[in-house]
Structure 1
Amino acid sequence: MPILVTGGTGYIGSHTCVELLENGHDVVVLDNLSNSSLDVLNRIRSLTNKDITFYEGDLLDRDQLEAIFNAHQIDAVIHFAGLKSVGESVQDPNRYYSINLNSTLNLLQVMDQFHVRKMIFSSSATVYSEDNPMPLSESASLQAINPYGRTKLIIEQMLKDHYQANPAWSFVILRYFNPIGAHLSGEMGEDPRGRPNNLMPYITQVAIGKLPELNIFGNDYPTPDGTGVRDYIHVVDLAKGHLQALEKAKETGFFTYNLGTGKGYSVFDVIEAFEKVCGQKIPYRILNRRQGDVPACWANPEKAKKELYWEAKFGLDEMCRDSWLWQMRNPNGYEKTHTFVSDKG
């Protein structure tokens, strides 16, 4: 039976679709393409030599969602869809609460209606309180400091309440740290619309000449070099974590896991590693701290290693290498040079 992947043409979702298809799963994708391209589907099909069923649509469209569940015997849902920019959420919190919460509630209700009771939820390390000691374990205190993180935290609580009301469900909550990198082929990667919000695509666009310099938001944090420290994880490692989560979802229960490497790197660490890969200097300027950012954040991934039998394989140098390969081969990201044919919507 197929896996429904909401937001499956996005950065993490598309890499997860490749892993699912290569491991024998049928995949149905629902995406409104608000931050992605149809060409992603061609890349997935080319890399896997397998077909994928695609619906262009929105989780807020209850009728379409019911039609998808009617047309396919969905076994489980991997839920990526949602708005995801920390900075944007600070500027427009109402939009984030409205879309992220209501779309998830709609999805839950339709899953209930069709007796589909396995969900892998794309959460975030932003749910953790900033006063926790590092590394962060799943039992660390929770208190998101920006609206994006709060939507993730509220959804986690929604799912937990749902499970407590009906213990026949299985929810696997995956708290991502900072995904970077790209598919090893260079055919799939992160392609933000407009000016990037995340560090790595900003660096690669400076290196390729699309942007003049990198903006670094703050160099006065209480970290070794003053810049923010994060746990960067290769997107392919992250995608593979969803395969292991699907195995875990065969059990009923409510499970929460960090997906990270357990290592923290500063902004300057990432710049230095990337410069070695691309063979050029990355010009930058220092700006004020960005509202909603924490000084440092990295994972304790031991629970995922023990219970999901998963751990990250790639290091920072490989993440930079694959990000640069993607950018060089696709200087303008996904371009609409192909047409994906689908009669599904």
Structure 2
Amino acid sequence: MIVLVTGGAGFIGSHTCIELLNDGYEVIVIDNLSNSNIESIVRVEEITRKKIKFYNFDLSDHNRLEKIFLEHKIDIVVHLAGFKAVGESVLNPLNYYKNNLNGTITLCEVMSEYNVKKLIFSSSATVYSQSKFGKVSECSPLGATNPYGRTKLMIEKILGDIYISDHDWSIATLRYFNPIGAHSSGLIGEDPNGIPNNLVPYISQVASGKLEELKIFGNDYDTLDGTGVRDYIHVVDLAKGHLCAINRVKESKGNEAYNLGTGSGYSVMELIDAFEKVTGKKVPFRIVERRPGDIAICYADVLKANRELGWKAEKGIKEMCYDAWIWQTKNPNGYKTSEVTTV
């Protein structure tokens, strides 16, 4: 079977491509490389010893996208392409609405034209209302509080309307919690542009001496140590969740959302402590004021994914931290520029 992965050169996309290739799927990737690097595709091929057909263009390009569907008999689409930084989305909301919504709409139009109606969509726990804290289930109130999260929620609504209009579609929406870690080889991992937006790449760069210190936003929450608690999931476990979702959409029709997390939470201080223990490196930090809108505790209720997808996260926090550190030490400056032939 042929799987089209949009955004397949990114952090989650590259790890998902490995799992797909290892499971016997033929993989085609579309990525405009705006927040990813072609080197990740080269390294995925090195790890799996299998080839990927790579296309470098923007997903909103209807004509080029249609050409892909003409040339390849695509069976399933895994849609991960999109801008993804919360802070950047607040500063440039129109870019996020234009890119994330237009790309998805174009993709669904072309899929419909070519009768490809099996879709895995990369959503986010940011779609949940921040009035809800603690354990979050798929039935918890929705209500994103930033443009990035709202684009994810809007796309979920669009996909719901598509299914209502045509019950031949089979859609699995995966609401990611906080993916961290890296492939155990150290060849692929999270490669942020500039100063990291996410916690673990920031911790890794502080531990390596690349950044001076970590800022912790608040230590007066109603938690064990006063710092915020979140559900961190190893990116390889997350990637494997896509395989389970593919098996689901191959066998049934419908439109369902699934939380992908571990089902438990760790505080910022617990994460730092785990990181220091597995690496032997100190992580200097400074407590600063809370960020507006942050809540004390948020972690996933994963019973639906366990029950309906047959999926469960297997890797613990120490393995997440260790793999992230191996990636950092092997790639202190992220991916290096690589020349590769693209289609």
Which residue of 2 is the match for residue 280 of structure 1? 281
**Residue 224 to residue 280, structure 1, CA distance change in 2 (3 Å):** same
Q: State yes or no: 1:261 paired with 2:286.
A: no
Which residue of 1 is the match for residue 120 of structure 2? 120
Deviations 1:67-114 (A, max 9, x none): 111111111110000111111112222211111111111111111111
Q: Which runs of 5+ in 1 are unaligned?
A: none
Amino acid at match of 1:269: E
TM-score in terms of structure 1 length? 0.97
Aligned residue runs from structure 1 range 1-345, under 5 A? 1-250=1-250, 251-336=252-337, 338-342=338-342, 344=343
Q: 147-156 or 158-167: which moved more? A: 147-156
Amino acid at match of 1:152: K
C-alpha separation between the residues in 2 aligned to 1:264 and 1:32? Answer: 34
Q: Which runs of 5+ in 2 are unaligned?
A: none
Deviations 1:268-301 (A, max 9, x none): 1110000001112101122222345333210011
**Residue 305 to residue 288, structure 1, CA distance change in 2 (3 Å):** same
Percent identity reads: 58
Q: Structure 1 runs of 4+ off > 3 angstroms? A: 291-294
User: Is the CA contact (8 Å cut-off) linking 1:128 and 1:142 kept in structure 2?
Assistant: yes
User: Is the CA contact (8 Å cut-off) linking 1:87 and 1:291 kept in structure 2?
Assistant: no
C-alpha separation between the residues in 1 aligned to 2:225 and 2:176? Answer: 24
Question: How far does residue 223 in structure 1 lie from its aligned partner after superposition?
Answer: 2.6
User: Is the CA contact (8 Å cut-off) linking 1:101 and 1:151 kept in structure 2?
Assistant: yes
C-alpha separation between the residues in 2 aligned to 1:319 and 1:139? Answer: 28
Amino acid at match of 1:330: N
Aligned length: 342
User: Is the CA contact (8 Å cut-off) linking 2:133 and 2:296 kept in structure 1?
Assistant: no
User: Is the CA contact (8 Å cut-off) linking 2:133 and 2:295 kept in structure 1?
Assistant: no
Question: How far does residue 133 in structure 1 lie from its aligned partner after superposition?
Answer: 4.6
C-alpha separation between the residues in 2 aligned to 1:71 and 1:242? Answer: 24
Q: 281-290 or 233-242: which moved more? A: 281-290
Question: How far does residue 118 in structure 1 lie from its aligned partner after superposition?
Answer: 0.6
C-alpha separation between the residues in 2 aligned to 1:223 and 1:197? Answer: 23
Amino acid at match of 1:278: T
Amino acid at match of 1:295: A
Amino acid at match of 2:281: Q
C-alpha separation between the residues in 2 aligned to 1:334 and 1:156? Answer: 32
Question: How far does residue 173 in structure 1 lie from its aligned partner after superposition?
Answer: 0.5
Question: How far does residue 132 in structure 1 lie from its aligned partner after superposition?
Answer: 2.2
Q: 170-179 or 132-141: which moved more? A: 132-141
C-alpha separation between the residues in 2 aligned to 1:219 and 1:146? Answer: 23
C-alpha separation between the residues in 2 aligned to 1:234 and 1:316? Answer: 8
Amino acid at match of 1:321: Y
Question: How far does residue 210 in structure 1 lie from its aligned partner after superposition?
Answer: 1.1
User: Is the CA contact (8 Å cut-off) linking 2:178 and 2:231 kept in structure 1?
Assistant: yes
**Residue 63 to residue 292, structure 1, CA distance change in 2 (3 Å):** farther
The DSSP-based 3-state class of the residue aligned with 1:298 is strand
C-alpha separation between the residues in 2 aligned to 1:222 and 1:42? Answer: 45
Amino acid at match of 2:210: K
Deviations 1:130-156 (A, max 9, x none): 222521111111111111111111100
Deviations 1:183-211 (A, max 9, x none): 01111110101000000000001111111
User: Is the CA contact (8 Å cut-off) linking 1:41 and 1:340 kept in structure 2?
Assistant: no
User: Is the CA contact (8 Å cut-off) linking 1:86 and 1:292 kept in structure 2?
Assistant: no
